[in-house]
Amino acid sequence: MIQEVGTTEQGELVINLGPQHPSTHGVLHLVITLSGETIKKVEPHLGYIHRSIEKMCESLSYRQFIYVTSRMDYLSSHINNHGCALCVEKGMQIEVPARAKVIRVLMDELTRLASHQLWWGAMAMDVGALTPFFHAFREREAINDIMEETCGARLTMNYMVPGGVMADLHPDFPKKVKEFIRFFRTKIDEYDELVTGNVIFKSRMEGIGYLSAESAVSFGCTGPTARGSGVSCDIRKLYPYEVYGQLQFEEVTATGGDCFARYMVRMQEMRQSLSIIEQLIDNIPEGEFQAKTKAVLKLPKGEFYSRVETARGEFGVYIISEGGTTPYRIKFRSPGFSNLSALDHMARGYKIGDLVAIMGTLDLVIPDIDR
Amino acid sequence: MLSIENITHSIDAWLNSLFNPTVVLLVESLIVGLCVISLFAVLGLVLVLMERKVSAYMQIRLGPNRVGPGGSLQTVADTLKLAMKEGLTPDGADKFLFNLAPFVVIVVAMMILAPVAFAKGTQIWDLNIGVLYITAVSSLSVIGILMAGWASNNKYSLLGAMRSGAQIVSYELSAGISVISIVVLTGSLRIQDIIASQQDGWWLFKGHIPALLSFVIFIIAVTAETNRAPFDLAEAESELTAGFHTEYSGMKFALFFLAEYVNIFIVCAIAATLYLGGWMPLHIGHWAGFNRVMDYIPSSLWFMGKTFFLIFVIMWFRWTFPRLRIDQLLNLEWKYLLPISMVNLLLMTLIAIEGWYF
Amino acid sequence: MNKEELKLRLEEQLPPASFEDGAEWTTAIVDPAGWEGFARHLRSDAGLEFDYLFCVTAVDWRTYMTMVYHLTSTIHRHIMVVKVKLDRDRPEIPTVSHIWRTAEFHEREAFDLFGVVFSEHPDLRRLFMTDEWKGWPLRKDYEDPVNMIKL
């Protein structure tokens, strides 16, 4: 039952944050118990954007269900689709051509960059610096334009299919991406000067929202949230898929465990993504962009699990198939769900102003959590 | 040359020829009152538009550019809109205080305008304790804010008003001490004396290190006093609510909004008067030729230029820095600014006594 | 440890578990009564140390229900799957939220969508649906004439 807003017997204040709120990045309803300015308990109330995607997918074919996941974590839409395509390919033993693999990885890394850019702008805005938001969106426009030329859309690009990608790259793609890399390299340094080095920003982020490595693992946190506490969990390194095994990049971890550590992990990840794109953009192999598959896909009886690394953490697709044209049960293991469960643990004992900073570093996208 | 002094003298002479002195006094008071109110209105217009344009250009966008040439009539449109909005009074609110609060804030802002010298010979009231009057009257605005927060019958407004009140009262100390350090150099509280003493150079340059330190502390303190970012936690949009003026709508909200911008103008005007010479042009020592050239630019232009430059700097702060938390804010004042400004005052006194300034 | 070694080790340590063949990872099938002890053993045993529960799923097989737990170890980097078969009319299973804290939210989700009751869960109530919702939406026999469209 939802506790009425008011005062508890101990004289603590119970207030609502959301569901409509500029800082919660989606419809998240938090019921916060405060004692003065200190947080005693944070309770998330979910379900405002629950669309029952898992049940919906039970009546969609294996080609159709992939694109519903774009709407889950809309900032990592390519990566989510990639995870679903990988699962179907695992089930049907489809071999993806080399060109398609490289294209997929390129799109994934561009999406990761775009997601981290938006995260940076929104994080700065939550803490009070209102200008970086515009800078982040200006940079993001470049990626959106590149995506629009090849995939046809700017946010939910329905581009991955089981077996490869839906269409070949636009001829301008390598040129535009190279231009973007050159332009963005200077911008990241600018970001560091503008926000990261700022004394006020550091004092709002350092020492706030501590999450130890054991807690991170116990709460099931993945992605930069866990890597900021020193847990090594990058799926691209542990269980390499597509061409990640042959690329040179580092898994970024930090040991601080506080908001600033998570912030630095994401900033460094942006640089690593840039270096991955640089390694691939000149070496896109020629060939088919899609393997030949039947029109109607039927997975054999059994269960299949595939995992990819989205901008938020590990996204898992678990398909249980009975041999038909639609899945029997699909479970999407979304990274935000587990990251959010650690919020209560992280926020206790801090002030209400810190809660906004902590939520910013968790990088929550609520449709991903509610599914 | 057409100067404001000539205009005021000629109006005074004309009125004196028509009426007896008492009536002349009343009529002049009326004229001055009307001028102040219209100055308020024009300032509000200009400053709000300036804020929107400045913030837009810093954020790679254009800002208002449709209403009027280059967007200049935007604030007129906004004020008309606010005037026509329904003014809601919340249910359990203390009606008298709720209605009184915006007027207290506006009246205080108007009163502080009295000793400010806009140009040579243009000052409403040159009282002998000018600076003390300004510091004292500006403290009264806290009452208006607390009234607004209390009378709204809303726990978030009360929280916001309390935070605002604590912030303003704390930062007044540093601002006051900074002001005193210039008074020590000048030896007088009168605004005209302070400006006259900057005849051979502005105090910011003449007073070298202590004056520079005092200037920096003053600017930080007045940014906090007017509740501007990075000290705007009380009205932080991404936190709980809009602070003490949450429950206000329509014309009363417009008054609070206007008072905030006029307050910024006033504190920048004071900073310009104390540190940058007010309406005094830039003179360097006894370089007569250079000073004569500088004198050609009218004094009102000097004053407005300096004030608007400082206003631009304060607006620049808002769109660059993140926000401080309330405990960090108060820490900054009590543990850093206040001790530094007190030591600076001692240093300034030493310099003033020994004559170690230009 | 790889699949076979894991299976051997588990077989020798915990006889009641049976194993499923042909899956990608070692899959153990356990009774609901023995689940909590098995889970505790998986978490604390020095050679196993499955400290990371990364997926909790409930599946409705029409005549019975299954809970599927995917576990991995951040120290040894092995993966295993545990399936627990539940009675469909009264699906009850002990909670593991005191072993892996991520299970708190995941078990609430399984309760909300399937009706599986987790005994001794600290706060078992609906997660996505409103508190007054009747029925278990993700079960195969769930009917909702207002919200579900049959094509």
Q: How is chain A split into domains, by residue range? A: 49-370
Pairing of strands C79-87, C26-30: parallel
Domain C3-91 bears CATH identifier 3.30.420.10: no
Nearest by CB to C74, from A217, A219, A320: name it. A217
Confidence band of A2 (pLDDT split at 50, 70, 90): very low
Q: Which chains touch C (3 or more CB pairs under 8 A)?
A: A
What is the phi/psi pair of residue A42, to 5°? -125, 125
- B198-239 pLDDT, tens per residue? 888 888 888 788 889 999 999 999 888 888 878 877 666 445
Instruction: Count the domains in chain B.
Output: 1
- A221-274 pLDDT, tens per residue? 998 999 999 888 888 988 888 888 888 888 888 888 889 999 999 999 999 999
pLDDT for B234: 67
On chain A, the residues whose CB falls within 8 A of the CB of B320 are 129, 131, 194
Nearest to A274 by CA among A335, A191, A160, A334: A191
Angle between helices B4-18 and B21-58 (to 10 degrees): 150
DSSP state of B121: T
Nearest by CB to A231, from C74, C128, C130: name it. C74
pLDDT for B238: 43
Q: Chain B: nearest CA to A82, how far in angstroms?
A: 35
On chain A, the residues whose CB falls within 8 A of the CB of C51 are 214, 217-218
Query: What pTM value is reported for the model?
Result: 0.85
Q: Where are the domains of chain C?
A: 3-91
Q: Which two tokens stand for residue A286?
A: 């020629």
Angle between helices B299-318 and B21-58 (to 10 degrees): 40
pLDDT for C62: 87
| Contact yes or no for C102 and A218 at CB 8 A | yes
Q: Quick check: A15 contacting B, CB < 8 Å?
A: yes
pLDDT for A5: 57
Rounded Cα distance between B278 and B272, Å, is 5
Q: What is chain A's mean pLDDT, rounded?
A: 87
Q: Chain A: nearest CA to B153, how far in angstroms?
A: 14
B56 within a domain of the structure (yes/no) = no
B63 within a domain of the structure (yes/no) = no
| Contact yes or no for A124 and B236 at CB 8 A | no
Residue keyed to tokens 């308020």:
B40
- B42-92 pLDDT, tens per residue? 888 889 889 999 988 888 888 888 888 878 888 888 888 888 888 777 787
- C59, closest residue in chain A (CA to CA): A329
Average pLDDT of span A53-75: 88
Q: Which two tokens stand for residue A130?
A: 């209102």
- C80, closest residue in chain A (CA to CA): A305
On chain A, the residues whose CB falls within 8 A of the CB of C113 are 54
Task: Look at residue B276 and tell me whether its pLDDT is greater than 80.
Answer: yes
Fold for A49-370, please state it.
Answer: Cytochrome-c3 Hydrogenase; chain B (1.10.645)
Interface of C with A in 52-111 (CB under 8 A): 52-55, 57, 59-60, 68, 70, 74, 77, 100-102, 104-106, 109
Q: Quick check: A125 contacting B, CB < 8 Å?
A: yes
At least 3 CB pairs under 8 A between chains A and B: yes
Q: Which residue has the higher pLDDT, A8 or A114?
A: A114
| Contact yes or no for B326 and A135 at CB 8 A | no
Amino acid at A142: A
pLDDT for B1: 45
Supply the Cα-derived Rg of chain C in whole angstroms. Answer: 16
Q: Chain B: nearest CA to A174, how far in angstroms?
A: 27
State the residue range of the domain holding B158: 74-354
How many CB atoms are located within 10 Å of the residue A296 CB?
A: 9
Task: Look at residue A60 and tell me whether its pLDDT is greater than 60.
Answer: yes
Nearest by CB to A198, from B229, B239, B322: name it. B322
**Assign residue B277 a region: left if phi > 0, alpha if psi is -120 to 50, beta otherwise?**
left
B40 within a domain of the structure (yes/no) = no
pLDDT for A308: 92
pLDDT for B225: 86
Task: Look at residue B175 and tell me whether its pLDDT is greater than 80.
Answer: yes
Confidence band of A6 (pLDDT split at 50, 70, 90): low
Task: Look at residue B241 and tell me whether its pLDDT is greater than 80.
Answer: no
Confidence band of B152 (pLDDT split at 50, 70, 90): confident
Average pLDDT of span C46-65: 87
Share of chain B above pLDDT 70, in %: 96
Partnered with residue B122 across adjacent β-strands are: B119
Average pLDDT of span B170-195: 89
pLDDT for A103: 92
Nearest to C17 by CA among C51, C48, C46: C48
- A331, closest residue in chain C (CA to CA): C57
DSSP state letters, A27-78? S-EEEEEEETTEEEEEEEE--TT---HHHHHTTS-TTTGGGGGGGTSGGGHH
Task: Look at residue B240 and tell me whether its pLDDT is greater than 70.
Answer: no
Rounded Cα distance between B76 and C46, Å, is 74
Best-predicted range by mean pLDDT (A161-165, B234-238, B280-284): A161-165
Average pLDDT of span A363-371: 88
